């Protein structure tokens, strides 16, 4: 079986999708191809998201928000959206999930930790469902 490609999408690609991508990369390693993007990418990753992930031993500080492209959706087997709604292009045959998560933008570390922990649990379930 070829390794599955998972695309995480949120509006700014600065918090939730970056944390999810960081977890999937760390927990699944090279068994899964990991992509992330935003419908309206921010200039930089949310520093509180970086701090929250650093507490878990995962460094996402070197990542950059990327713009969502039709090509990235087409290249993915699983597309996970996080609050970007209808801005994500739809292609038949892909697995889509919408994760309802609070936006960490503008929040302090105490508010971001539970979001991070929710993302980790969802990523662990995703890995199990992919057989990765």
Domain at 104, CATH number: 3.40.50.2300
Is residue 78 annotated as part of the catalytic site, yes or no? no
Is residue 88 annotated as part of the catalytic site, yes or no? yes
Q: Is the pTM of this model over 0.85?
A: yes
User: CA-to-CA distance for 75 and 57, rounded, in angstroms?
Assistant: 29
For the chain, what is the mean pLDDT? 92
Model confidence band, residue 84 (pLDDT cutoffs 50, 70, 90): low
**3-state class (DSSP) for residue 118:** helix
Instruction: Name which of 104, 97, 91, 90 is nearest 42 in CA terms.
Output: 104
Residue 45 structural domain: 5-130
Q: How many domains does the chain have?
A: 1
Strand ordering across the sheet containing 95-98: 33-38, 5-10, 78-82, 95-98
Percent of the chain with pLDDT over 90: 81
- Of the residues 82, 88, 101, 123, only one is catalytic, namely 88
User: CA-to-CA distance for 99 and 84, rounded, in angstroms?
Assistant: 10
pLDDT for the residue numbered 93: 83
Is residue 84 annotated as part of the catalytic site, yes or no? yes
């Amino acid at each position: 079986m070829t390794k599955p490609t998972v695309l995480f999408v949120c509006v700014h690609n600065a918090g939730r999708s970056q944390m999810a991508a960081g977890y999937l990369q760390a927990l699944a390693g090279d068994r899964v191809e990991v992509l992330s993007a935003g419908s309206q990418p921010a200039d930089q990753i949310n520093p509180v998201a970086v701090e929250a992930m650093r507490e878990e031993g995962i460094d996402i500080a070197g990542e950059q928000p990327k713009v969502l492209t039709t090509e990235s959706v087409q290249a993915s087997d699983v597309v996970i959206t996080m609050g970007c709604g209808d801005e994500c292009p739809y292609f038949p045959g892909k697995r889509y999930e919408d994760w309802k998560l609070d936006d960490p933008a503008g929040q302090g570390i105490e508010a971001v930790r539970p979001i991070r922990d929710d993302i980790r649990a969802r990523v662990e379930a995703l890995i199990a469902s992919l057989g990765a």
